[in-house]
Structure 1
Amino acid sequence: MNFSIQPELENEKYQLIPLSQGDFESLYEVASDPKVWEQHPNKDRYKREVFENFFKGAVESKGAFKIVEKETGEVLGSTRFYDFDENKNSIFIGYTFYGTKSWGKGINPQIKKMMLDYIFQFVDTVHFHIGKENYRSQIALERLGGKKIAEEEVAYFGEPTRTNFVYEIKNEDYFN
């Protein structure tokens, strides 16, 4: 099996489709709500010019996806694989966001499960950067079995450096 950080993935309800330039408007429609970014380290991504930079970084990462509800074809948000480290046999999952109407519906755990089930065929450890004040995401990741292992300054693509917690899920813990 060929290893790719941008495969098409799907379950019964959702698809992860590699992000392309043509996805900007549909994704910005979801991202343009300031509430989406309230707990995020970069709270102004709802502004078009700031989101344009975020989107450019997502497309250039070649690991980003749009999250699509299969039944309606609606774009719900975005996520990505990034920073694959061959020596440590690890990768990050992150840059995830959803529109507010997707919150509290159990969508994120299904998306993360899809991503983890796939990527653990190739790596031993998955890391996540989560903003220090992003309590929703911290709780969500702890529910998935993520353990906080560090705190570090993260420089997002073309954005200011922010303090993030690093969480980790190991392959052997995930499947036990």
Structure 2
Amino acid sequence: MFLAASDPRIWADHPASDRYERQVFEAYFASRLATGKALAVIDIDSGQIVGTSSYYTPPDLPESIAIGYTFLVRAKWGGDTNRELKRLMVEHAFKAYDTVYFHIAPSNIRSQKAAMKIGAVHLYDAELKLSTAPASCKCYGLTRAQWAASQQSA
């Protein structure tokens, strides 16, 4: 997993811009593993790990589900891998929840665009403690109806 995460450009627009450093990444990875809700993204052709994502409970919506803590190697940005990852995770979440949430750093325009591309809408901005310290987040929500509409137009 660290090999996939060791490219500094992956983290350039991320609040944890030093996550490509082994010690920083190991703390992040250990926290994701401890949740029991993290997924490895594996390239089906090469068998190599190309990223990760996770489900988590939003601190301001404790009866809900969110998808985040996602990263992919740059070769997988903007293509089928991210789309398929989100499709699988969103459809699984909709088996138990009516809305899926995404919390994105204000500076992470690429992830905001990706959330909107799958039909999510910006709901509000908040200061949330998603890791060690509170941070500003743009909070997006995706309902089943929004998801269905985005799939029809895709």
> Comparing both structures, which one devotes a greater share of its residues to strand?
1
Judge conservation of contact 1:68–1:77 (CA < 8 Å) in 2.
yes
Match of residue 137 from structure 2: 164
CA distance in structure 2 between the partners assigned to 1:58 and 1:88 by the alignment: 18
Judge conservation of contact 1:89–1:125 (CA < 8 Å) in 2.
no
The residue identity in structure 1 corresponding to 2:66 is F
Alpha-carbon RMSD across the aligned residues, in angstroms, is 1.8
The residue identity in structure 2 corresponding to 1:122 is A
User: Taking CA–CA contacts closer than 8 Å with sequence separation of 6 or more, which of the two structures ends up with the larger relative contact order?
Assistant: 1
Q: Does 1:42 pair with 2:8? A: no
TM-superposed deviation, 1:116: 1.0
Does the residue aligned with 1:175 lie in a helix, a strand or coil?
A: helix
TM-superposed deviation, 1:118: 1.4
The residue identity in structure 1 corresponding to 2:143 is K
1:60-83 deviation line (CA, Å, top 9, x unaligned)? 111001101122111110001110
Deviates more, 1:134-143 or 1:96-105: 96-105
The residue identity in structure 2 corresponding to 1:175 is A
TM-superposed deviation, 1:175: 2.5
Does the residue aligned with 1:123 lie in a helix, a strand or coil?
A: coil
Fraction of identical pairs, as percent: 31
Count of residues paired in the alignment: 148
> Comparing both structures, which one devotes a greater share of its residues to helix?
2
CA distance in structure 2 between the partners assigned to 1:88 and 1:171 by the alignment: 19
1:86-122 deviation line (CA, Å, top 9, x unaligned)? x875200000001112123232111101111111111
| Stretches (4+) displaced over 4 A | none
Match of residue 76 from structure 1: 50
Q: Does 1:32 pair with 2:32? A: no
Given the two structures, how large is their TM-score scaled by the length of structure 2? Answer: 0.88
Q: Does 1:175 pair with 2:145? A: no
TM-superposed deviation, 1:173: 2.4
Could you list the runs of 5+ residues in structure 1 that have no partner in the other structure? 1-26
CA distance in structure 1 between the partners assigned to 2:136 and 2:20 by the alignment: 20
2:102 pairs with one of 128, 136, 139: 128
1:70-109 equivalent positions in 2, closer than 5 A: 70-83=44-57, 90-109=64-83
CA distance in structure 1 between the partners assigned to 2:78 and 2:141 by the alignment: 23
Judge conservation of contact 2:68–2:103 (CA < 8 Å) in 1.
yes
CA distance in structure 2 between the partners assigned to 1:35 and 1:140 by the alignment: 18
Could you list the runs of 5+ residues in structure 2 that have no partner in the other structure? 150-154
TM-superposed deviation, 1:156: 3.7
